[in-house]
Structure 1
Amino acid sequence: MHFSERLFKLKDHKTDVKTEVNAGIVTFMTMAYIVIVNPAILVAAGIPIGPSMVATIITAVFGTLIMGIYANRPFAIAPYMGENAFIAYTVCGVLGYSWQTALGAVFISGILLALLTIAGGRKVMCEAIPTNLKYSFSVGIGLFIAFIGLVNSKIVALGTESAPLHLGDLGSPEVILAIFGFLLISTLTVRKIKGAILVGILATSLIGFISGIAAVPEAIVSVPPDITPVLFQLDIAGALTWGFFAVILTIFTMSFLDTMAGLIGISAQAGFLDEKGNLPEVEKPFLSDAVANIIAPLVGTTTSGAFAESATGIRAGGRTGLTAVVVAVLFALCLFFSPVLTSIPSAATGPAMIMVGLLMTQPIKKMNFSDYSEMIPAIAVIVLMSFTYNIGVGLCSGFVLYPLFKTVGGKWKEISRPTWFLFALCLLFFIFYPY
């Protein structure tokens, strides 16, 4: 215990081992779905599900351990949702490239991110982001997380072209269970009960198992599938072609901005940002993310980075890398206990995501709405993150619109050179994005 307290400087962060462990469990339970969902998406690219699941877990374990031990931050790393779909459905499905070549592009992107981080470029870019946009990241990601939670718990359902979304079937036992879970977590949160989210997830899951709404796991322990079919199978040479430039640019931009937004958004919620809205020692979590992006394609999966679901553990009190280490350990257990750990129903995790998302929108009160040149780009970020189901698209829209409206408003002197660089990068993103 004493070793953990010294290693992660628990007293300096006004936390303790019990709180950090609880936070790690909460974070893991809200993002454990990635173990099943990521392989289910990547199978469309031709990547076999069993080995893909192992690759997903290994990436999460190594990336999160690096984040916890090196950066001492409570951020968990795993393959990104959105990027995996881009690889599976666009790069491999529409454009017809092999998954090996796509992973080669992910690897190149990871190398570029690492070099940019070591050179200090990512820190400069991060600190150059206008304050209003920084707050919009937290609000936008919060709305995005809440939206995912609503969809996953089926409280919100897909509709028709004329009405893309509509209210789910409130008579469905699964939806009723999800609503109960949300009300329980909300009540515990209002009452300021410690571990409210974790208690809510466990209680809702237990009710789901007992009632038969959720399937009880058939086994407790399982042998991990063989990872050989995807291990070191990336095709770097195939990705180093002019025709693949647009794909590499898109992957790089999405990874660069998704992690930036995630770290800033989560940190704003946790109170980690300084008086200028910057994250102290941001280069450490950035480098952890870059290393994870290099590991991921080597073991057989797609772009990885800091998960927005880390906010759930932070809301539960997580403040140091010990939270991340706990998440990594639980992911490692998934190799052998995946039937149990991944049996938690979406009716239990969905409500937790809704609550966390709602809580993450609080920085909206700090945003400047009186200056339209500040307000319009920020609102574009918030809205497009959810309505396009793509954090990268929302971010890029903000970085493109910000300098445009500042210039139109005669305030072009307020735009820094790094902000113009982000404008150019995001403009290229929209130009070359394989729609």
Structure 2
Amino acid sequence: MQSFFNFQAHRTSYRQEFLAGVTTFFTLSYIIIVNPAILAAAGIPKGASMTATILTAVFGTFLMAVYAKRPFAVAPYMGENAFIAYTVVQTMGYSWQTAMAAIFISGVLFTLLTLGGMRQWLAGAIPGSLKHSFSVGIGLFLAFLGLNDMGIVALGVPDAPVKLGNLAKPEVLISMGGLLVMTMLLVQRVTGAILIGIALITSAFLVLGLAPLPEAIISAPPSIAPIFMNIDVPGALTWGFAGVIATTLVMDFVDTMGTLFGLSSRAGLLDSEENLPEIEKPMLVDALSTIAASLLGTTTAGIYIESAAGIEQGGKTGFTALVVAGLFLMALFFSPILTIVPPYAYGPALVTVGMFMMQSVTRLDFNDYSELFPAFLTIVLIIFTYNIGVGITAGFISFTALRSVTGRIREVHPGMWILALLSLTFYFFYPYH
């Protein structure tokens, strides 16, 4: 097993990778509950949707472990699920079966593009400054999510979109205390600091009665029969539905690209030219997972930014992903006990990870504004639009445009023109509702 995952080359161990996998799982286990809750707005049964969510995560993360051998967890994307539920189904009036067909078609197209080498070629076209900006932007995005989960940041009013939360709430105080403990453990270089922090906060919530004890320890998973293989491909192959497929395709492409480079940069997996060796493997896993997700009855699947939590615990190989896949499989039967972790517990983990991912900002060139501005735009739009795809596409467009108007058009890789064009279609089809 050690030789299969090449522990020696990555200077890691079973214990380190196991802790990393457990940390990643508990940081993103919310998806087991949240994804079905969002898709319920599209009329998809919650029980079946929960089973589909878990099975998709097991399939994609296991494939990532044994084929791509990367420490990345795969699960249905947040954002894409809301787009399908609230825009495609509720606003545009399509059935969820037709919406799932869009996911299936985009997955097939991504698989063909990956096997044909197109996605890898496009990835190689992205300049290093943008790749590092993905890491910084995603890190700050995670920190913002974490502060919101902790109750420190709350929704404000139109003239002040966010505000300070209620710091007098016991839940917020416990979460802040957990963040302090987590940071102290990190300062002391304690292995598993993030996981220990999550466990302590959850325990405090249970002891104080702020979170309900699980009604059972083991339960049979709900049947997936109502949604399994229930897709309407003919209904999706219409001109009017083309915009939905195009939006799904571009959203998945930019989310995966940004997350993949952001996490790889933090894990030290990029080579001297800021490229990820064998990038086609995690990309193919992403594509096949999306196909599997649509057939199982859930939305676009891909690499999760919460994988950064495990990376910060030392996860560098596919064994981390293997542990995550195993825990998701257990969640099919142990969901009552594995889903008691409150947002107040994993919020501090996201804030901590965001701090670590900020380190990539030191690799930006602050003297070349044609490089700095696209990177800056990527970072701030990821955060302030609450959308990773918006920030990344803005970076592609602005980089290409600035190089063109400043007489440096020859420095633009041909692939960047394609990415800029794809990014423009993203804004053309984007649901501005």
2:193 paired residue among 173, 193, 196: 196
Q: Residue 99 of structure 1 aligns to which amino acid in structure 2?
A: W
1:390 paired residue among 387, 390, 395: 387
The answer to whether the Cα contact below 8 Å between 2:80 and 2:300 also exists between their aligned partners in 1 is yes
Number of the residue aligned with 1:333: 330
The Cα offsets for residues 59-99 of structure 1, whole Å up to 9 and x where unpaired, read as: 00000000000011110000000111111111111111111
Could you tell me how far apart the structure 2 residues matched to 1:80 and 1:142 are? 17
User: Could you tell me how far 1:215 is from its partner in structure 2?
Assistant: 2.0
Structure 1 runs (4+) greater than 6 angstroms displaced? none
1:282 paired residue among 255, 264, 279: 279
User: Could you tell me how far 1:6 is from its partner in structure 2?
Assistant: 2.2
1:430 paired residue among 413, 427, 431: 427
Number of the residue aligned with 2:359: 362
Number of the residue aligned with 2:347: 350
Number of the residue aligned with 2:217: 220
Could you tell me how far apart the structure 2 residues matched to 1:153 and 1:194 are? 23
Matched, 1:131 2:128: yes
Could you tell me how far apart the structure 1 residues matched to 2:89 and 2:367 are? 45
* Structure 2 residue matching 1:280: 3-state secondary structure: coil
User: Could you tell me how far 1:434 is from its partner in structure 2?
Assistant: 2.4
Could you tell me how far apart the structure 2 residues matched to 1:300 and 1:70 are? 24
Task: Give RMSD over aligned pairs.
Answer: 0.9
Number of the residue aligned with 1:294: 291
Matched, 1:316 2:305: no
Number of the residue aligned with 1:404: 401
Could you tell me how far apart the structure 1 residues matched to 2:366 and 2:245 are? 36
Q: Residue 67 of structure 1 aligns to which amino acid in structure 2?
A: M
Could you tell me how far apart the structure 1 residues matched to 2:32 and 2:38 are? 11
The answer to whether the Cα contact below 8 Å between 2:151 and 2:167 also exists between their aligned partners in 1 is no
Aligned residue pair count? 432
Matched, 1:248 2:242: no
The answer to whether the Cα contact below 8 Å between 2:294 and 2:300 also exists between their aligned partners in 1 is yes
Q: Residue 422 of structure 2 aligns to which amino acid in structure 1?
A: L
Q: Residue 374 of structure 1 aligns to which amino acid in structure 2?
A: E
Could you tell me how far apart the structure 2 residues matched to 1:312 and 1:30 are? 7
User: Could you tell me how far 1:9 is from its partner in structure 2?
Assistant: 1.6
Identity %: 53
2:154 paired residue among 146, 151, 157: 157
* Structure 2 residue matching 1:197: 3-state secondary structure: helix
Matched, 1:44 2:41: yes
The answer to whether the Cα contact below 8 Å between 1:246 and 1:434 also exists between their aligned partners in 2 is no
Matched, 1:93 2:90: yes
The answer to whether the Cα contact below 8 Å between 1:76 and 1:324 also exists between their aligned partners in 2 is yes
Could you tell me how far apart the structure 1 residues matched to 2:339 and 2:249 are? 30
TM-score normalised over the length of structure 1: 0.98
Q: Residue 396 of structure 2 aligns to which amino acid in structure 1?
A: F
Q: Residue 429 of structure 1 aligns to which amino acid in structure 2?
A: F
* Structure 2 residue matching 1:158: 3-state secondary structure: strand
* Structure 1 residue matching 2:8: 3-state secondary structure: coil
Could you tell me how far apart the structure 1 residues matched to 2:229 and 2:245 are? 19
User: Could you tell me how far 1:319 is from its partner in structure 2?
Assistant: 1.0
The Cα offsets for residues 189-222 of structure 1, whole Å up to 9 and x where unpaired, read as: 1111111101111111111111122222221111
Could you tell me how far apart the structure 2 residues matched to 1:389 and 1:302 are? 19
The answer to whether the Cα contact below 8 Å between 1:132 and 1:374 also exists between their aligned partners in 2 is yes
Could you tell me how far apart the structure 2 residues matched to 1:66 and 1:143 are? 29
The answer to whether the Cα contact below 8 Å between 1:136 and 1:381 also exists between their aligned partners in 2 is yes
TM-score normalised over the length of structure 2: 0.99
Could you tell me how far apart the structure 2 residues matched to 1:322 and 1:131 are? 28
Segments of 5+ residues of structure 2 without an aligned counterpart are none
User: Could you tell me how far 1:431 is from its partner in structure 2?
Assistant: 1.1
Matched, 1:73 2:70: yes
1:13 paired residue among 4, 10, 13: 10
User: Could you tell me how far 1:368 is from its partner in structure 2?
Assistant: 1.2
Q: Residue 274 of structure 2 aligns to which amino acid in structure 1?
A: G
The answer to whether the Cα contact below 8 Å between 1:155 and 1:178 also exists between their aligned partners in 2 is no
